[in-house]
Amino acid sequence: MLESPHLLSASLALSAASFESRGMTEVEGTSTSRIMEHLQSSGLPLLRSALAQGQQSEILIATCLIWCLADVFSGQQGMLRWPIHLQGIKALLHGRHDYQRFVTGDMALRSAMKHLFMLYRSLETLPHVPTITSEKVNLIVPANTAYNHQIDGFLGYSEELLDVLQQINASTPGSGLEGSSVDADTLLGKLNAMIRRDVRSPPGVSISSLSSQSGREFALCNKVFQQATLIQLYRQLYGLPSSSQPIQDAIQTMSGMISNMAQGEPCNTWVAMAMPLFTVGCEAYKEEQKAFILDKIHKLEICIGSLHVKVIEQALKDIWKIREDCNDFDGNLCASHLLENLSYNIVLF
């Protein structure tokens, strides 16, 4: 890392942002905010210089991703740099089409780059912000579809769900990606086929050694993400109201699965639950539904300790207030209409 000062600066910035997100204002007498300001003023020019020199792209991708995370963990709602870093990663990947090298290369490099690429895809796909990419979905698609069906040990769910979520985003009216859109019924059929397939033949997890309890947690997490993706599809492509039977069925299924998961524990699949919890929370219109989600959000905060979880909680409260202001106490509105009035940039990875 000493040979890559831009990577070192980014890693230190991530540490400082993590301290801040956990309520630490000083490190050995020095303000964490001043540390962040210094690292940004020195580290970002180092990154720009490395990009200009055409240094090793794997290191540059890692540096950009770490800066993404540092910005996310800071929980700021002002000038956001992480989408800019994602655009930088996209530029580094564009035209190379070497995803297969991540799959078949050196074992250590393969594992590291696979994790980095999955983090990139989730950061690009899951946030509640205007879409970052204007190109066709599935910029880089794995050719090994059998591997793609596995539950990813880094994400906590199958990578194929990111493909579906990207297609949902591209097919949403007003996304600017309508040229890449897929018919809603086709997507729904594809997603339901995935769910039925996994019931018949539960997918494995891309981790070599895994206890039976951990395997159960990964299976539950993947199923929760499948149901959350269903809700996203019903909401964005069909415009269904929160009280509609398909959405309520998915919520009921998810709630049972969530209640059976280990909650609030570090180094567990619970760390991946931001997107499903926010998705269900947006549909909540009954007080017991809101209380259920807030309890789970608080456990996510305990688990992660990042300020961006507080942003998620506040965003949900604002959505509920918007619904109340519209006098919708029975779930007659589609959550998409409520989200249109939300000014937050929310990261859900």
- Of 166, 156, 89, which Cα lies nearest the Cα of 304? 156
Q: Is residue 124 part of a domain?
A: no
Contact yes or no for 276/224 (Cβ under 8 A): yes
Q: Is residue 121 part of a domain?
A: no
Tell me the pTM.
0.82
Residue 256 has pLDDT above 90, yes or no: yes
Print the domain residue range for 152: 131-339
Based on the fold, state whether residues 169 and 277 are members of the same structural domain. yes
Based on the fold, state whether residues 59 and 177 are members of the same structural domain. no
Q: Is residue 347 part of a domain?
A: no
Question: Which position has the higher pLDDT, 19 or 245?
Answer: 245
Question: Span 175-195, mean pLDDT?
Answer: 78
| Last residue of one domain, picked from the residues 75, 96, 117 | 96
Angle at 127 between CA 286 and CA 249, to 5 degrees: 35
Q: Is residue 70 part of a domain?
A: yes
Based on the fold, state whether residues 71 and 175 are members of the same structural domain. no
Residue 2 has pLDDT above 70, yes or no: no
Q: What is the pLDDT of residues 322-336, one digit of tens each?
A: 999 999 999 999 999
Based on the fold, state whether residues 70 and 168 are members of the same structural domain. no
Q: Is residue 101 part of a domain?
A: no
- Both tokens of 323, joined, read 């619904």
% of residues, the chain, pLDDT over 70: 81
pLDDT-derived band at 132, boundaries 50, 70, 90: very low
Based on the fold, state whether residues 84 and 164 are members of the same structural domain. no
pLDDT for the residue 133: 41
Q: Is residue 181 part of a domain?
A: yes
Cα Rg of the chain, angstroms: 20
pLDDT for the residue 76: 62
Based on the fold, state whether residues 39 and 137 are members of the same structural domain. no
Q: What is the pLDDT of residues 32-81, one digit of tens each?
A: 888 888 888 888 888 888 878 876 677 888 888 888 888 877 766 555 67
Indicate the number of domains in the chain.
Answer: 2
| Last residue of one domain, picked from the residues 96, 116, 141 | 96
Based on the fold, state whether residues 282 and 199 are members of the same structural domain. yes
